Structure 1
Amino acid sequence: MVPARRWLVVAAVCAVVLAAVYFFAVWTVPGQELENAALRGADEAAAHDQAVADASLSRITVVSLAAAIVVVALAGLLRRRWDLAFAAVGVIVAGQLVTQVLKRFVLPRPGLVQVTGHYAGNSLPSGHTTIAMTVLFAALLVVPYRWRGVTLFFLLSWAVGIGAYTVTAKWHRLSDTLAADAIALGLACLASWWLARRGAVRRHDGPRRIPRVLVVTVAVLGAVVFFGLGTVLIGASLAGGGYAETVRDNAWVVYLAANSFASFGSVAAALVFLATWRRLEVA
């Protein structure tokens, strides 16, 4: 039997990341001020970019989510694995349950800085980012090993884009997307742990597939670029004018950094999940 502890460890780390993101972004004055600055900076984005972001997010509806669930379930059932279909569908459904309960009933947003209207309410975690990431993870679970790279190629860019678009469209803050990434990854790891405990996971002894290696390599490079760009942007702004000037006058730079970090979070979550399944497959 394949050791299942790895998935529990990653799920526990995800819970810690979720708590840390919530505390530093929501319960500290600098966290709220920086994210509010990013929201103001998004107003300076090109009208075309905002329109694309709104259109992409609007395509995620109850109907499209239901269609994704049906496709994932059928993929598992076609492999004659009801437990695989159940686990994959469970990741998507549980993702929305956890996200909506946390956002609406559990996680308050204190008024540490002056803000009015829609932005005064809690928006953490992002439901759209959770949908995108759980659909990605569910698909990676149900597809055969040989199709994992192809699935990653087609779905990763979409999922990463959704997380970034929520910031561009001002539907969510950076912390909302990072929290959603942690929730999606944690749930996918719990589903993987359940499958492993059932004896459904085995080691893959076949040859490596070059296309999948290339896709993963590009994803790693993308993560490095996104993180590096965000760090350079916010670091240069803070070094040039200090914290107060950055929050007050460099909202555009803060937005660009937040957008980059949102993309990094989604790519990093996907890579961590792939790493837990390295050379493993569902029997």
Structure 2
Amino acid sequence: MASNDRFRAGGSPRPLKTSDTWWYAAVAGEASGSFHTRVRTRTRRACLGAVLVLTVVYAGLVLTATGRRWGDAATTGRSADTTAATLLREHPSLAGLTTLSLVLGCVLLLAVGLIRKRYALTGAAAGAIVTALALTGLLQRYAPRPRLLDTGGALLPSGFPSAQTTLALGIALGLALVVPYRLRGVAVGAATLWAVAIGAYTVAAGRHRPGDVIAAALLALAVHCGLLALLARRGKVRPGARRGPTPAGLSATLALLLVAAAGLGAGIWLLGATLTLPAGGPYDPAELQLAHRCGQALAAGVAAAAGLLSLTLLRRVELEGAPTPYRLGGPFVEDTGAPREGELVGPFTEDLDHEIS
């Protein structure tokens, strides 16, 4: 409350304390340091950080000759990686299962949101996925890049970013908006691990380069964080329970942490050796296999880190839901008069003899 506020006649002359201004803090949700402001600030920074890293990945892996050479080596190295080649040869149905799982993931997201009657958040999650896919299509079609031709001289279509990974990770991050608060960790964690597997399959099958999967994960994360910042700005967030995570949620979070740490650590360690490939070739099959495994590790680490960052941003944050009602307490509630059901509680008395300058 401002220092020049005029008290009503006969009021207490004591100066106001910070605890006396709770009503103003509740009304002014945009006040500095409020819960909404803190959530909006950190999600907005995460969104801008994801966009910045996406720009660096695009400049390094698409616009530079070294990055394109590393991507070509990682894609060619899938044939030299006997483990991946044997798995794809013995299980040709993985292509159909990948498409089916993406369809079932979309159905699951919509079904959970509609069953829990979170229509607005379900629409927001679906809108975020559509936005991410639209941005993916625009980048694939209009982002500047060197013209790549196949052996027949035809122009190769761009796969930057990967649409399959964008959809899979968009579903995984969208579940955080519709699942119950206590099940958020296990739902987002398990779905993110599934998205990591989708990205690994697309790289192993030669449909996308590792940089395409990395860019798709960053794009989905940026759109998701932007949506969270918008929800916080509109006051659709409130403090969640301080109870610890469930054992299943803790296991899924630890699995994400291990995949992110192992993938990023191994990928960065191998990246130094694979970036020094000569421009003219030919390449040793062992070098190509190393490049492929480096790309797989980096793609898996970035995708897992995106899901882990989403859970960190939403830690102890409940989306939507009614705010906790204010209740008077203390030994003298009956003497002072407790508010009845539906009665407004605030700093103003019944005679309204109070002014705010």
With the shorter chain as reference, the TM-score category is 0.7 to 0.9
Alpha-carbon offset, residue 136 of structure 1: 0.3
Give the Cα–Cα distance (whole angstroms) in 2 for the partners of residues 274 and 167 of structure 1: 26
In the alignment, is the contact (CA less than 8 A) between 1:56 and 1:162 conserved in 2? no
In the alignment, is the contact (CA less than 8 A) between 1:34 and 1:247 conserved in 2? no
Q: Deviations over 1:170-222 (max 9, x none)?
A: 10011101110111001111221222222221111331124223322232122
Structure 2 unaligned segments of length 5 or more: list them. Answer: 1-34, 322-357
Q: Deviations over 1:4-53 (max 9, x none)?
A: 12222111112112211111111111001111011110112333323478
Give the Cα–Cα distance (whole angstroms) in 1 for the partners of residues 73 and 268 of structure 2: 16
TM-score by length of 1: 0.87
Alpha-carbon offset, residue 254 of structure 1: 0.5
Question: Quick one: which of 51, 75, 80 aligns to 2:112?
Answer: 75
| Structure 2 residue 124 is matched with structure 1 residue 87 | yes
In the alignment, is the contact (CA less than 8 A) between 1:69 and 1:92 conserved in 2? no
Residues 173-212 of structure 1: matches in 2 within 5 Å? 173-211=209-247, 212=249
In the alignment, is the contact (CA less than 8 A) between 2:70 and 2:291 conserved in 1? yes
In the alignment, is the contact (CA less than 8 A) between 2:63 and 2:146 conserved in 1? yes
In structure 2, the residue matched to 1:127 is 163
Q: Once superposed, what is the RMSD of the aligned Cα atoms?
A: 2.5
In the alignment, is the contact (CA less than 8 A) between 1:14 and 1:185 conserved in 2? yes
Q: Which moved more, 1:50-59 or 1:172-181?
A: 50-59
In the alignment, is the contact (CA less than 8 A) between 1:107 and 1:122 conserved in 2? no
Question: Quick one: which of 192, 196, 206 aligns to 1:170?
Answer: 206
Structure exhibiting the larger radius of gyration computed from Cα positions: 2
In the alignment, is the contact (CA less than 8 A) between 2:132 and 2:223 conserved in 1? yes
| Structure 2 residue 311 is matched with structure 1 residue 277 | no
Change (3 A) 1:135 1:119: farther
Give the Cα–Cα distance (whole angstroms) in 2 for the partners of residues 119 and 20 of structure 1: 25
In the alignment, is the contact (CA less than 8 A) between 2:159 and 2:208 conserved in 1? yes
Partner SS, residue 283 of structure 2:
helix
Change (3 A) 1:258 1:139: same
In the alignment, is the contact (CA less than 8 A) between 1:27 and 1:109 conserved in 2? yes
Change (3 A) 1:57 1:158: farther
In the alignment, is the contact (CA less than 8 A) between 1:8 and 1:193 conserved in 2? yes
In structure 1, the residue matched to 2:145 is 109
Alpha-carbon offset, residue 273 of structure 1: 1.1
Higher helix share: 1
Give the Cα–Cα distance (whole angstroms) in 2 for the partners of residues 121 and 82 of structure 1: 37
Partner SS, residue 253 of structure 1:
helix
Change (3 A) 1:244 1:178: same
Alpha-carbon offset, residue 66 of structure 1: 5.4
In structure 2, the residue matched to 1:32 is 68
| Structure 2 residue 88 is matched with structure 1 residue 50 | yes
TM-score by length of 2: 0.70
4+ residue segments displaced more than 6 Å: none
| Structure 2 residue 250 is matched with structure 1 residue 216 | no
Indicate the structure whose relative CO is greater, using CA pairs within 8 Å and at least 6 residues apart. 1
Change (3 A) 1:149 1:164: same
In structure 2, the residue matched to 1:248 is 283
In the alignment, is the contact (CA less than 8 A) between 1:83 and 1:195 conserved in 2? no
